[in-house]
Structure 1
């Protein structure tokens, strides 16, 4: 948990970002300090057995004063806990809309049961280690100072658990039941492979089917490790518990989950449990209707002897599906020609293999269509650039560099030597350098890139052991930086705060005088892992970059990295490749993001859920909405901009080199990083992220964040200087 000092630092950051007034900051700071005192009192009361008998109710606010949650409705309750739908009031202040969360609460009337509270906290610890798409995400845990109740803050799920599905249907078709358990098997395989964890309380109530069909595994509260577990051996639900579960001499094994999954599958198909409390078999008409091989496979799954069960839930499902396949009769075999027989799937796993092959072909076909569209767009862009170049040649006489230089020579020696003029001189020379190579009018065109990228490159390490990130080489050029009045009014209409918009003005022309290469994607998990292994870097924040709480593969952008960590990475990369890597300046980042566009987004005046990863419950212009991803997405999940750069909008906020300033007054106009003045404790973030409203994704948006902090919404990309 964060300390009171950490929470006060975050409040100060919100105040500096304009999201909290001074009065609000002072009031909430005092609340944090009060909570630290009350938490100590509540802990002492719990230790002495004191508790309150007041129950929870809708509309009640729980949590410490600086992070409150308003209860909306009771979702479910069990022997030890209640699960409530709630609104996160802190996000209501920060984002303008309250995030929906689920609170798993150890209720006030049980606040004296220290062992039950400990199990709830163990669930939080286990679940935060498991970042998988089919395991419910647990964000944090906290305690309500007034009641002493401990609770988990979890992802809110919209749908129903398998218990409700079984009651509603009376029983499912075998293939449908197996399909619902496939994601559960994947989650259990992941928990075992990554952490050696066994769930130990697998039952229909702990499997949740969302409205969009996604399946989530809940409740790792009594999960056991192969190295031992603190939870009692007989923990779990009796109807699904294996006979050996109560043996304290046995370490938790996957056979426990296999037994429970087999009982679940039997109940999902037949609507009843396979045996009573004494493990005597129950008769069921639906069970008798199942083919004998299927019944045999299910009975093997909940066999009393663990060694007779399949080694995993995935293997159990494979055997059940194989047993359900019709066996060919002798007459069919005799009448079937030999070539057809050889083409028929002969292995039990042929049906899943066929589905995977069909899915692979569909993905390949879709990728071919996307590549054809990209090629068409490249050809259109090439023709446009040729036209622009021809027009530029006709106008070159009016923009010759010698005329620009003549203007510079006309300045007095005192003016040229003045410190304030040094930056202007450099920028005007940059204008002179690019004047004959870049069309002026097209540089501000809202729908087309004025210059083509110079291609891609990827530097090998000097020892030939690996490669750095993939880069796109961008040409020198000029663009309008910031936002105009029309865009600002549209942002206000979309709910943007005036203090944020003031950072984007005055809009000004920036000239970037030389080519540079920038990461095609944000730095990936694989890139960061190579750095960690080579340098033994240790994180300083609360977010685990390798398990941030949502699924991350090697292709996802790394998160949990602060600005200083990013500086270490670019220095290390420079050493390994022999090239000059650094962070992008804010101007370089916006130039790369816009790719010649002058609209709020590089895709036009609006942005859609299929173009970027953001909180798609909201829309920029009140148009298209979707289902939010609730985490980062892998590289290539969305189309690139006109220069081939991906995820410039959304996915993760990206660190740049610049210090945070309240406006562009006095900003460099040569594309360099602005590092003098401003708030030296904060650096600029660009691009928005997966959790944010689309108004934060605009090309011009500037966010300031403490350089020493990190979270699961911030990453970065690199720049390499081009000789």
Structure 2
């Protein structure tokens, strides 16, 4: 249609607002009403097959009645003023919403706070609940289809996808009708909707993805998915409470049966409950382990399985503390004179990820015999002082990496590699790993499993083995560097096993292996330690705290905090993007959980 054209001697076209596969949308004015108020005209262009036209006509009338009804039920859904057909073309005339769509509030690279996103989702779900109570599916929830009205700043839901079916109707040789393409937008559209079987919870998925977009600044189609179960990975970029993260994860679950059935239930989950007048009675039985407690905004770790530790948490805590305190005692007759030396090459890269320097280095180590030809190599880490945490100017840092502080660390030994599957098998008699391989790191081990491994290894060898403190881990990882990575300003997948689809800084995209690799495959840091970033996350002794206020400065573990069940992970994994591999990145994870991206590395006392 052309500017100035008049439909039905009443609706004068002002300008084109947008075009799509279903047709065009125009701004118009109603000449029959005083002051010629503005309205929106949608021109739908169906297939011209006569049989299809007959079917579309029925569908069009039916959907128009739905839109009439919705507009009367809420002032936050544009009213439908008229619908008509002319020469096989279909037209809808709707209320004009004077406002801006949510792409003005939510845009790439912009992040809203948890409080802001919760409020926004509540506003959207309140309208959508009205729609869902009538068993109507919107099918195209996205920022462009949600308006913020200038008059009262209320959210208005526009552009229901149902009417778009008029352009996708097909008729086969038997005269049966079908919809040829799914209605929706890539990234916001869940699997069942993409398969042409949308449900009310499909809209819930789209709202959840919109919320994640608002939190992360990443558009829904840019977010990676877990290759094993299709779940969205998003917490790498977001700082949210565990409760809100749980709601969002349920909203965007891959399987529709795992989501909230409709906007009504999703809204209830986001609405604070009134406090009870009296506390509920205690549970009759021991509570089951709670879902993952990842208090870092960077990560989401999909739960691979739950187990109940066979050792008392109190006993483990006491033993772990005693193990650390004995860290300065030499528990075996081995002396520093018995150490061996190994040579290795280190590399550094420029801001684009290109290697700009190679250095030959050497370090001392000892070998522990675990039996049956399996050995453990422990590298000597000299004592020293370093700045722990990240500077405020470091790109993509998080607040829990602050404040920076000077920490003095005594010398110790650390595993040259992450504990491998053959080493774990030699001590524990089992191999829980998802990605099998003797030289690959063991994974799917809980914090308690790792502590038990240390205890059994200590009993077998007579030497005290334990998990590193968080300060020891970062000191060993940095190996004297102050850059985001021990390779320099960035990394590449030639140097680290991580999700290469998401590079850091000016580095190029790289390989996403989607699994662990053998330890020692990539260059080590200057201390001679391999895979300190990437491959698998590594347990530390410490309790997770949301910042470094009050943290020890002597290299000892921080064993006080809000929740002893939430322990530290360091180092990132094959699963995560480059930014999560920075030397300062830290995460909290429930101690009893096992996951195929989590392993550990050992520390032993310094030799006399």
Q: Could you tell me the TM-score, scaled by structure 2's length?
A: 0.46
Higher RCO, 1 vs 2 (CA within 8 Å, ≥6 residues apart): 2
Q: Could you tell me the TM-score, scaled by structure 1's length?
A: 0.39
Q: Per residue, is there more helix in 1 or in 2?
A: 1
